[in-house]
């Protein structure tokens, strides 16, 4: 059979996998509501400059990962690479700035032109949460606690470690940027091509480099933490102390930085050892500078996004799609007569599959194949008095009973 082409890095979600996504989103939504977050949805494409302005021309997402296209009116549009910027825009456009704080969660597809591999797709799904309007360290603590509870409730927390770091305030960031640049200048000729460019444009981002030589050079680089001013340091200590009070274990990772200028103070990632190189399942941080870059408003914000595909790869529990009851007639002519039984079972919340064609043996084979618990078999003889043959497919026992008694019997 000839395969029909699909776009690279773009996947179908077939039922087994789809179900994991649904479960992850269901749990996420339940936990978010418990923390008083409300669901929000924004368009999957926006004017390109909404994303490119705050991301800056030098960030990964804008330099090479974006899906940009012109529409018929020659507008430059971008498929959204992330959710936060749209959420902040929606809050502003929706006139909610007078009513802060606002707590939102969202889920949906994001688009990035990346090299596809396990856990890295060009269309992937995120589940995210944003707390907007709290400029206090308790906000950082709240969203981390939310992410922690989310991962705990999808039963993945045992395989996941929380790493946190602080980027401090603007003053601290500038202090550090200067010393990092002076340090790296000494090794400039050995840096990767990408890092050479970043040394001019966005030096903090070099700390993120996956290049081996870059990493070796960075091993002895000045430590970000040493350049935090007192305020930033106490902010960070407050976050750490509160996490400890909440019983949330974490590790400090001084290399955990975001190259984007709108981030400040806390950055955090939840990582797993189960997925190889694509090990970050939740990434988040404080983005107090973001709203100013897209509007006249200055709104503090902190939040995170989880990669649903990566969480699904870690999820082993399989949804049980087996029917409770398989409904079959001895001869296919009876199908129309037994539709009323089909309705009866469904109305009573019994997961039912009706089999429409084939010999009775074939039908029972199918019932076994789906691991159905019971078969209800109906022949000419049973039609009077609403009788049916109820067969327990686990132990083979068969009863002739009234359809109304089936519910009691199968719930026993
Ligand atoms: P990475 O370092 O893996 O590229 P990132 O820093 O680009 O991640 P974020 O933009 O912070 O990731 O997105 C948050 C989460 O979304 C990531 O931690 C990851 O779980 C998921 N994610 C990001 N990009 C992809 C992708 N291309 N395919 C699948 N999941 C992704
Ligand atoms: Mg990325």
343 band by pLDDT with thresholds 50, 70 and 90: very high
Taking 90 as the threshold, does the pLDDT of residue 57 lie above it? no
Tokens of 31: 């936990």
Taking 70 as the threshold, does the pLDDT of residue 60 lie above it? no
Closest-CA residue, ligand 1 atom 8, reads: 280
16 band by pLDDT with thresholds 50, 70 and 90: confident
Strand partners, 131: 103, 302
- For residue 370, give Cα distances in angstroms to 264, 374, 391: 53, 11, 15
pLDDT score, position 56:
64
Closest-CA residue, ligand 1 atom 26, reads: 120
Taking 90 as the threshold, does the pLDDT of residue 201 lie above it? no
| pLDDT tens column, 202-249 | 888 888 788 899 999 998 999 888 999 999 999 999 999 999 999 999
Taking 80 as the threshold, does the pLDDT of residue 311 lie above it? yes
Given the structure tokens 């973001």, which residue do they identify?
290
- Ligand closest to 313 (CA) is 1
Between the CA of 6 and the centroid of ligand 2 the distance, in Å, is 22
Between the CA of 49 and the centroid of ligand 2 the distance, in Å, is 19
Between the CA of 6 and the centroid of ligand 1 the distance, in Å, is 22
pLDDT score, position 142:
97
Q: Are 184 and 221 in contact (CB under 8 A)?
A: yes
Between the CA of 374 and the centroid of ligand 1 the distance, in Å, is 45
| pLDDT tens column, 355-389 | 999 999 999 999 999 999 999 999 988 888 889 99
Between the CA of 119 and the centroid of ligand 1 the distance, in Å, is 9
| The ligand 1 atom nearest the CA atom of 284 | 11
Closest-CA residue, ligand 1 atom 2, reads: 280
Q: Which residue has the higher pLDDT, 296 or 194?
A: 296
Between the CA of 77 and the centroid of ligand 2 the distance, in Å, is 20
Choose which residue among 305, 308, 314 to substitute to test ligand 1 binding: the one with the highest number of ligand atoms within 8 A of its C-beta: 305
Strand partners, 272: 160
Average pLDDT value for the chain? 92
**Burial group, residue 88, by CB count within 10 angstroms (0-12, 13-18, 19+):** buried
pTM of the model: 0.88
Taking 90 as the threshold, does the pLDDT of residue 133 lie above it? yes
Rounded percentage of the chain residues whose pLDDT exceeds 70: 97
pLDDT score, position 145:
97
Ligand 1 pocket, Cβ-based, cut-off 6 angstroms: 82, 112, 114, 119-121, 124, 126, 278, 280-281, 283, 305, 307, 309-310
Least confident of 205-209, 264-268, 269-273, 332-336: 205-209
- For residue 172, give Cα distances in angstroms to 176, 178, 184, 228, 254: 6, 10, 18, 5, 14
Least confident of 109-113, 162-166, 276-280: 276-280
Closest-CA residue, ligand 1 atom 19, reads: 307
pLDDT score, position 87:
98
pLDDT score, position 405:
94
Between the CA of 133 and the centroid of ligand 1 the distance, in Å, is 25
- Sketch the domain layout of the chain as residue ranges: 15-169+229-314, 325-411
Choose which residue among 11, 194, 310 to substitute to test ligand 1 binding: the one with the highest number of ligand atoms within 8 A of its C-beta: 310
The per-residue b/e assignment along 105-130, b for 16 or more CB within 10 angstroms, e otherwise, is bbbbebbbbbeeeebbbbbbbbbbbb
| The ligand 1 atom nearest the CA atom of 280 | 18
Q: Are 294 and 55 in contact (CB under 8 A)?
A: no
Cα dihedral across residues 53, 55, 56, 57: positive or negative: negative
Closest-CA residue, ligand 1 atom 28, reads: 120
Q: Which residue has the higher pLDDT, 185 or 63?
A: 185
Closest-CA residue, ligand 1 atom 29, reads: 120
The topology under which CATH files domain 15-169+229-314 is BirA Bifunctional Protein; domain 2 (3.30.930)
The topology under which CATH files domain 325-411 is Rossmann fold (3.40.50)
Given the structure tokens 């409730």, which residue do they identify?
153
- Ligand closest to 259 (CA) is 1
DSSP H/E element including 269: strand 264-272
Q: Which residue has the higher pLDDT, 337 or 376?
A: 376
pLDDT score, position 62:
53
Given the structure tokens 């509160």, which residue do they identify?
242
**DSSP E strands, 84-202:** 102-111, 123-132, 160-166
Closest-CA residue, ligand 1 atom 25, reads: 120
pLDDT score, position 202:
82
Taking 90 as the threshold, does the pLDDT of residue 304 lie above it? yes
- Cα–Cα distance, 130 to 303 (Å, whole number): 4
pLDDT score, position 391:
96
| The ligand 1 atom nearest the CA atom of 281 | 20
């Amino acid at each position: 059979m000839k395969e029909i082409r699909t776009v690279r890095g773009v996947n179908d979600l077939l039922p087994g996998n789809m179900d994991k996504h649904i479960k992850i989103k269901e749990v996420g939504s339940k936990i978010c509501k418990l923390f008083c977050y409300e669901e929000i949805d924004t368009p999957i494409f926006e004017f390109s400059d909404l994303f490119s302005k705050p991301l800056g021309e030098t960030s990964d997402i804008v330099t090479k990962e974006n899906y940009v296209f012109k529409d018929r009116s020659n507008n430059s549009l971008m498929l959204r690479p992330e959710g936060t910027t749209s959420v902040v825009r929606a809050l502003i456009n929706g006139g909610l700035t007078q009513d802060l704080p606002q707590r939102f969660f969202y889920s949906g597809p994001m688009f990035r032109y990346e090299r596809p591999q396990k856990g890295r797709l060009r269309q992937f799904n995120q589940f995210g949460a944003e707390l907007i309007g709290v400029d206090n360290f308790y906000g950082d603590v709240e969203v981390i606690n939310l992410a922690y509870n989310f991962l705990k409730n999808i039963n993945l927390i045992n395989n996941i470690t929380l790493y946190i770091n602080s980027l401090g305030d603007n003053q601290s960031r500038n202090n550090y940027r200067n010393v990092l640049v002076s340090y790296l200048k000494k090794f400039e000729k050995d840096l990767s091509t990408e890092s050479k460019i970043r040394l001019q444009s966005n030096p903090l981002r070099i700390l993120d480099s996956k290049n081996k030589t870059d990493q070796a050079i960075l091993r002895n680089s000045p430590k970000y933490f040493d350049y935090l001013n007192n305020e930033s340091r106490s902010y960070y200590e407050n976050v750490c102390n509160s996490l400890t009070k909440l019983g949330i274990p974490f590790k400090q990772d001084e290399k955990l930085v975001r190259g984007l200028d709108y981030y400040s103070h806390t950055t955090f990632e939840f990582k797993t050892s189960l997925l190889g190189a694509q090990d970050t399942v939740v990434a988040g941080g404080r983005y107090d500078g973001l709203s100013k870059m897209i509007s006249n408003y200055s709104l503090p914000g902190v939040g995170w996004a989880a990669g649903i595909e990566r969480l699904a790869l870690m999820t082993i529990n399989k949804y049980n799609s087996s029917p409770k009851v398989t409904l079959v007639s001895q001869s296919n002519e009876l199908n129309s007569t037994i539709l009323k039984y089909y309705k009866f079972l469904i109305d009573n919340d019994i997961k039912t599959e009706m089999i429409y064609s084939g010999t009775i043996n074939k039908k029972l084979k199918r019932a076994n194949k789906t691991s159905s618990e019971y078969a209800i078999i109906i022949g000419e003889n049973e039609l009077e008095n609403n009788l049916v043959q109820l067969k327990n497919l686990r132990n083979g026992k068969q009863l002739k009973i009234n359809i109304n008694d089936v519910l009691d019997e199968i719930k026993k």
